[in-house]
Amino acid sequence: MFKQNNKNRARLLINCPDQPGIVAAVSEFLYEHSANIIESNQYSADPEGGEFFIRIEFESPNLKQKQAQLESDFQEIANRFNMDWKFMYVDEIKKMAIFVSKEPHCLLELLWEWQSGDLMADISLVISNHETSREMVESLGIPYYYIPANKDIRAEVEEKQLQLLKEYEVDVIVLARYMQILTPSFVESHKHQIINIHHSFLPAFIGANPYERAYNRGVKLIGATSHYVTNNLDEGPIIEQDISRVDHRDNAEAMKKIGQSVERSVLARAIKWHLDDRIIVHGNKTIVF
C-alpha cells in the first residue's frame, strides 16, 4: 500500500521569531548529523520582528538509531532561537480515523486514494452514526463502528468514540461529512488533529444547509473548505479551499452535486498535506508548504 522505504527520511518543522542566522544554524546542524536536505521551504511573515516558518525534509543514514540523540542535540538551537519545533519521521505512518454520516462521497474519495497508494496513512477505523457505509468499508478490511448520535446523548457517544481512538492509537481524525457537532472537551483532546470538510467557501454560509442558502442568495460560485476543528463552529484554521461556477439554471440540488465534487478534492488535498507534515498552524491561520 505504501510506495517506498523511508526509514532514513524525516521532516523538521519550525516556527519562531524571525532573526538572522536561523537557516544557517539549522543547515549546519543537519550537516553535522550527516543529513542530506531533500526539500526546504521557508516563509517570513515580516522580516522586521515577525514570525519565521520553515519545513525541511532530509535523509540521514541510520536515522532510527540516532533519533533520540538528534532531537536532544537540536534543543540547544531551539532554545537559542526560541523555536516551536518538531521532527516527524516519514516511516511512522499516521493512523487515521474517519467519521462519516449518511453521505459517503468524501469517504469514498479517501478510500480510493488509499487503495491507489496516494493517501499515505493507516485507515485504522471508520466511525459512523449511520449504517450506510458499512459494506463498502468492511469489504476493504477496515473496522466499521456504528454509534448512533444526537445532541441528547453526545457525552455518552463521545466517550465510546474516545475509547476507540485510544485503542487504535489514532493520530488524525477526519470528519468526512460527519454531521454532528463535537464537544469542547473532545476537540481539546485532539487539538489540530481533527480535519473537517465544510460544504461552503468559508466564511460564507457557516453552519447547516449551505447549498440551499447559496441558492436562495443567487450566488455564482460555490465552494468547499477544509479546516482544523476548533470550538468555534466552522471557524478553525483553514487548510484548503476551492470553488466551482454555477448559474441561475442550477437549483439547490444541482449545486449540491457540483459542490460534492469540490468537497472530495479539497478534503483529500488537505489530508495529504497534513500527512506529509506540510502544515504549521499559527493562531487561526495555517502556513502550508
The sign of the CA dihedral 120, 127, 288, 60 is negative
User: Band of the pLDDT at 280, cuts 50, 70, 90?
Assistant: very high
For the cut 70, the answer to whether the pLDDT of residue 3 exceeds it is no
pTM assigned to the model? 0.93
Q: What is the pLDDT of residue 227?
A: 97
Q: What is the pLDDT of residues 103-147, one digit of tens each?
A: 999 999 999 999 999 999 999 999 999 999 999 999 999 999 999
Q: Which residues contact 227 (CB under 8 A, 6 or more apart)?
A: 195, 196, 198, 202, 234, 236, 237, 238, 239, 270
The owner of cell 462519516 is 100
For the cut 70, the answer to whether the pLDDT of residue 212 exceeds it is yes
- Domains of the chain and any CATH numbers: 9-89 (3.30.70.260), 95-288 (3.40.50.170)
73 is a catalytic site residue: no
Contact 241, 225 (CB under 8 A): yes
> Nearest Cα to 171, choosing from 280, 88, 113?
88
Q: What is the pLDDT of residues 168-194, one digit of tens each?
A: 999 999 999 999 999 999 999 999 999
Q: What is the pLDDT of residue 1?
A: 42
Mean pLDDT value of segment 61-74: 95
Catalytic residue among 18, 122, 171, 234: 234
Instruction: Name the residue type at position 43.
Output: Y
For the cut 60, the answer to whether the pLDDT of residue 2 exceeds it is no
Mean pLDDT value of segment 194-219: 87
The sign of the CA dihedral 229, 240, 260, 257 is positive
What whole-number distance in Å separates Cα of residue 203 and Cα of residue 211? 14
Q: Which residues contact 109 (CB under 8 A, 6 or more apart)?
A: 264, 265, 267, 268
Share of the chain above pLDDT 70, in %: 98
Q: What is the pLDDT of residue 4?
A: 52
Instruction: Name the packing angle between helices 252-275 and 105-115 (round to 10°).
Output: 40
Average pLDDT over the chain reads 93
Q: What is the pLDDT of residue 44?
A: 92
Q: What is the pLDDT of residue 133?
A: 97
Contact 100, 176 (CB under 8 A): yes
Q: What is the pLDDT of residue 214?
A: 87
What whole-number distance in Å separates Cα of residue 36 and Cα of residue 32? 10
CA distances (Å), 104 to each of 1, 63, 175, 289, in order? 22, 40, 11, 29
